[in-house]
Structure formats: C-alpha cells, structure tokens
C-alpha cells in the first residue's frame, strides 16, 4: 500500500477504538493506532498484554504504536484548562492533548488524517456534540479529525470534502447503548475484545481522592503517583508519605522502586510488611524521630502477631541493610494526630 494511505487513530484498547480502526482498515487505509500511555492506566505498553490480545481480536490488521505521554499529561492533570469530570479526570484537555500529538505525527509522517473511536452522546460530558466540536476546535487541526463511528452526525471534515474518505462510509452511531457496536463486532468477526486496561484510574473516586491529597500538598510527582496505587497510603504532617505493603508483591514493589533517600522498615522475626517513608532528601534519624517511630509502629501494626510484646523493627535503605533497629511494644501503638490515612 502506498504511503499516501497512511492514517493515525487514537487507540484505548476498548471496543469503540478497535471498531473504528477495523472500519478504516476495511476502507483500504494503512492504519496505525496510537496508544498514549500514562501512569494512570493499568499497563504501560500493548506488548505487555497477555495472550496476545491485540492479534486475537483484530487479526493483526493494524499496527499499534505506544507513546509515553506522561510529562505533558501530568501538567494537564495538575491544571486542566477545561476542568475535571466527576473525579480528577481532565477528559477534554486529555483528548485535545492526544489529538494534538496524533496530528503532529500525521504531519511529520505524511498521514492523511487522524481518527478516533468516539461515539456521539456516549459519555455524559466529553462526548456531547458540542464538546466533540469544542475538542476539535482546540486542536491544531480541527478539520483533519474524523470520527468514523458517528461521522454522519457531525459536520463534514476536510478528508470528506476532498474525497479522501466518502461520507457514506461513515456510521451514525449515537447514545449510550452498546448494541450497535456489539453487532458490528460480530459482523467484523472481532473476538475477545474488551477493555484490557481496566480504564483510566482518574475516573476512580477513591484514587482521585488520594491524588487530590498529592496535588494539595505539592507531592504530585511520578514516583508519588506510582506508590499511590498501593492500598495502604498514609500521610505524616501532610509532608511525608508512608506506605505499608499489604501483600508480598507490594512489599517487593516497595523495595524495588525505593530510592536511596527513602527509608524502609520491616520486622525480621515474623511475617511483616515492608514500609517506606518517601523522601527526596536524606532523613536524619534523630531529627525525624517522630516520623520514623510512626513508620516503625505502622510496620508492627500490620505484622503477624507473636507471643512476646516487643517487636524489633529494622530500618534500612537501598544501600544499607541495617541503619537502625527500633523496639516497639505491640501494646503501645498510639499514633500521632499528624498521621492520616489517605
């Protein structure tokens, strides 16, 4: 196929984006699907998917390119021009960002247009007709954005006007029902489709609450966000984060991702969590006694109980196996008011 047939689609891994890619392939375009990877998705790269999900569902009809967009994405999560959705999901800014990146790739690689799997009226806020048009208008190439699943219900785009794609070939799906898409998937012989990523964490109420704490306390960094995905997140004095592992896999992750200034805690004599205090600078053990004692107590709180009252908590870091040892009485697990569970 000649390079002039090249087009780029926004790809989330969900059914609508698969359908739009497949439809475009069937019209004879050379489709490349762009997967924008952020910290808020459950997997980072389409190659990571089990059982070769992609090949199984679309029979290898199009390529997927994964693009790490975290730096730009974190900026819009911090301060979205068009505000948040129900939780900390800056969907309008996010779509504008992804489209702008796709349009940039289109120009650089001589593509004809970009397209999305959006369906008119499917989501309450971000997929209303006016919002879709507003999104396009705020990109660098409004006329080059085709939405094949609802294209007939939207104003003609430049590729349609130029005859690159026939308006008749576009669909007119709208609304929240998934019926037409499910039928179409059957017709196109798509199998095992679904949302392998489990969606975007920014739409999750609980995760958004935790993220808000990072934003409000100037702790909004990639590392803090990664640790936020673990269950037992505490804040001390709204300045330090203490995270306590819940299962072995989390303990391993905590230790593996620790930097040299982070302090780690464990009890060696019994099954115990690994606890971490995240810190950008070296923490003096004496000066930060209250913080360190709190992390040690939390480690004991979640350790398996034994017959004696006293637990020995080992404090260590990435480079030193034992910086200190703190004795904690299991009957004395009172916590300072500075500690909050987030």
Residues that bind ligand SF4 (CB under 6 A): 89-91, 94-95, 200, 202-203
If the CB atoms of residues 94 and 119 are measured against ligand SF4, the closer one turns out to be: 94
Cα 12 to Cα 99, 115, 166, 181, 331: the distances in Å are 13, 12, 25, 16, 50
For 17, 63, 66, 192, 257, the CA distances from 114, given in Å and listed in that order, are 12, 15, 16, 26, 37
The torsion angles phi and psi of 41, rounded to 5 degrees, stand at -100, 155
Q: What are phi and psi of 16, to 5 degrees?
A: -60, -40
Tracing tokens 């703190």 back to the chain, one arrives at 326
d(Cα 9, Cα 117) in Å, to the nearest integer?
8
- Which tokens sit at 111? 């593509």
Nearer to ligand SF4 by Cβ, of 90 and 151: the residue is 90
Closer of 6 and 95 to ligand SF4 (Cβ) = 95
| Residue 202 Cβ vs ligand SF4, minimum distance, rounded to whole Å | 5
The CB-of-90 to ligand SF4 minimum distance in angstroms stands at 6
Secondary structure string (H, E, C) spanning 99-134: HHHHHHHHHHCCCCCEECCCCECCCCCCCCHHHHHH
Closest distance to ligand SF4 from the beta carbon of 4 (Å): 30
Closer to ligand SF4 by Cβ: residue 123 or 330: 123
Rounded least distance, CB 65 to ligand SF4, Å: 17
- Closest approach, Cβ 257 to ligand SF4, in A, equals 23
Task: Give the nearer residue to ligand SF4 in terms of CB position, either 94 or 278.
Answer: 94
Q: Quick one: 94 or 339, whose CB is closer to ligand SF4?
A: 94
Give the C-alpha separation, 253 to 2, whole Å. 46
Q: Please state the closest distance from residue 31 (CB atom) to ligand SF4, in A.
A: 21
Residues in the chain: 342
């Amino acid at each position: 196929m000649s390079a002039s047939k090249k087009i780029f689609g926004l790809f989330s891994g969900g059914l609508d984006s698969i359908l739009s890619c497949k439809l475009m392939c069937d019209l004879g375009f050379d489709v490349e699907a762009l997967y924008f990877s952020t910290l808020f998705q459950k997997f980072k790269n389409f190659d990571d998917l089990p059982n070769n999900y992609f090949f199984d569902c679309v029979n290898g009809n199009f390529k997927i390119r994964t693009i790490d967009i975290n730096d730009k994405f974190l900026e819009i999560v911090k301060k979205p021009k068009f505000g948040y959705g129900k939780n900390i999901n800056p969907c309008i800014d996010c779509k504008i960002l992804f489209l702008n990146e796709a349009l940039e790739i289109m120009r650089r690689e001589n593509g004809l247009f970009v397209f999305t799997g959006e369906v008119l009226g499917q989501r309450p806020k971000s997929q209303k007709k006016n919002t879709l048009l507003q999104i396009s208008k705020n990109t660098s190439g409004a006329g080059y954005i085709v939405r094949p699943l609802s294209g007939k219900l939207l104003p003609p785009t430049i590729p349609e006007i130029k005859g690159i794609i026939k308006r008749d070939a576009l669909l007119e799906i709208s609304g929240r029902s998934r019926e037409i898409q499910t039928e179409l998937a059957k017709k196109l012989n798509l199998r095992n489709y679904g949302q392998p990523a489990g969606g975007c964490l920014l739409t999750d109420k609980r995760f958004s609450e935790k993220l808000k704490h990072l934003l409000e306390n100037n702790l909004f960094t990639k590392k803090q966000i990664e640790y936020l995905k673990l269950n037992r997140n505490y804040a001390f004095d709204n300045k330090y984060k203490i995270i306590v592992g819940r299962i072995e896999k989390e303990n391993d992750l905590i230790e593996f991702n620790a930097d040299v200034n982070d302090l780690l805690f464990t009890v060696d004599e019994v099954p115990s969590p690994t606890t971490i205090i995240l810190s950008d600078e070296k923490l003096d053990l004496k000066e930060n006694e209250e913080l360190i004692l709190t992390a040690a107590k939390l480690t004991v709180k979640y350790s398996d109980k034994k017959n004696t009252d006293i637990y020995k908590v080992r404090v260590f870091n990435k480079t030193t196996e034992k910086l200190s040892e703190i004795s904690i009485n299991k009957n004395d697990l009172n916590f300072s008011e500075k500690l909050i569970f987030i």
